[in-house]
Amino acid sequence: MNKCMTATEARKKFYDVIDAARRPGVSVIITHEGLPKVVVMSYEEFEGWQETFDIMSDPVESREILKALKNSKKEKSIPWEQVKKELKL
């Protein structure tokens, strides 16, 4: 869920912005002169975006992910109960 506020409002309520943005899935869009200028999000969410960007910008990793996705459609999964039985859990 995104929240949106002006830069003036964000300045007045800075700690509220931090509090809102620290929640997973919540980001705060800050506008200036009617246009979106920045987004505030939790550090954990930022790290996730960075990692995704790094992976997607690496052609080798991207190919490996696509290859794994294609192979996963061909492979059959084993029911959890069967795995437990085979491993004697």
Q: What CATH number does the domain containing 32 carry?
A: 3.40.1620.10
Write out pLDDT tens, residues 32-72.
Answer: 999 999 999 999 999 999 999 998 898 898 888 888 888 77
Per DSSP, 23 falls in state: S
How many domains, the chain? Answer: 1
Residue range 2-19: average pLDDT? Answer: 96
What is the reported pLDDT for 1? 81
Triad 74, 87, 71: Cα angle to 5°: 10
The pTM for the full model equals 0.64
Cα distances (Å, whole numbers) of residue 17 to 9, 25, 50, 58: 10, 14, 21, 34
Distance CA 5, CA 9 (A): 6
**Structural domain containing residue 40:** 1-89
Mean pLDDT of 9-23: 95
